[in-house]
Amino acid sequence: MPTGAFATLLYKEALRFWKVGFQTVAAPVLTSLLYLLIFSHALAAHVRVYDSVSYTSFLVPGLIMMSLLQNAFANTSSSLIQSKVTGNIIFVLLPPLSYREFFAAYVLAAMLRGLMVGLGVWLGTLWFVELNYAHPLWIVSFALLGGAILAALGVIAGIWADKFDQLAGFQNFIIMPLTFLSGVFYSIHSLPAFWQGVSHVNPVFYMIDGFRFGFFGLSDVSPWISLAIVGSCFILLSTLTLLMLARGYKLRG
């Protein structure tokens, strides 16, 4: 059973982003809608990935998933680095809270933020395009797993970074390239062979591709392969994060 400390930490982390929801939820939704307007206007007449799917429709699931992933990462990483820099991380570490509960509270709150942003993007795009929902369970599975993976990666980044500059570097040189070069705006089959190979070692590609399969029943790789890779990434990152927390890496003196 969850302890009182776990429930309190989960509530604190959820309240943290909800109290500034205009910045943490509404702003990312607006950014994604601007991406949709610009890219669909510029490329809709020139790009068609699948014969039965318009480019604008193709673009929407990728934008939903990209927004979900980026915000799940931002929630855990920014919370931890702020707590470390201000010194109030001690108030999180003092209660009778196991490292597993610590991990679960941060990850669940980050998933909640990511899902809220993704839902907001989906609702906003209903004005522009009509989507299919071929396999809803695939949509939910990849949304949950993707949010959990980026939330765990955010915990790792937040623990590792000692200042905001380091966290910004982690986000700009790792998270942004992984999400933007994952097939959000294109099919990897439109790329040269070398870049197709690079895409296949990007785990975010499998999150986007599997998520998109849930809408259209079409994908660049088998959704079962995507699910296996994404599930493996979640297990690996969760294990690494729990080991860091168990050892108190950069959290306890």
Question: For the residues of 71-99, what is the DSSP string, one character each?
Answer: HHHHHHHHHHHHHHHHSTTHHHHSSS--H
| pLDDT for position 60 | 94
Alpha helices in the chain (DSSP H): 4-18, 21, 27-43, 55-86, 90-93, 99-125, 136-160, 164-170, 176-180, 193-199, 203-216, 223-247
pLDDT tens, residue order, the chain (253 aa) = 455 889 999 999 999 999 999 999 999 999 999 999 888 877 666 666 777 788 889 999 999 999 999 999 999 999 999 999 998 898 888 888 899 999 999 999 999 999 999 999 999 998 888 888 999 999 999 999 999 999 999 999 999 999 999 999 999 999 999 998 898 988 887 788 888 888 899 999 999 999 999 999 998 899 999 999 999 999 999 999 999 999 999 887 5
For 128, residues 6+ apart whose C-beta sits below 8 A from its C-beta are: 36, 37, 40, 56, 60
Hey, is 53 helix, strand or coil? strand
For the question of whether the overall pTM of this predicted structure is more than 0.85, the answer is yes
Interior angle at CA 193, CA 187 and CA 195, nearest 5: 65
| pLDDT for position 150 | 98
- The answer to whether 164 and 172 have CB atoms below 8 angstroms apart is no
- Round to whole Å and give the CA distance between 167 and 155: 11
- Round to whole Å and give the CA distance between 108 and 112: 6
- Round to whole Å and give the CA distance between 116 and 64: 10
- Round to whole Å and give the CA distance between 54 and 212: 13
- The answer to whether 99 and 3 have CB atoms below 8 angstroms apart is no
Query: Given CA atoms 42, 48, 52, 53 in this order, what sign does their dihedral have?
Result: negative
Q: What is the DSSP letter of 64?
A: H
For the chain, the distance separating the N- and C-terminal CA atoms, rounded to the nearest angstrom, is: 30
| pLDDT for position 193 | 86
Q: Classify burial at 135, counting beta carbons within 10 Å of its beta carbon; exposed 0-12, middle 13-18, buried 19 or more.
A: middle
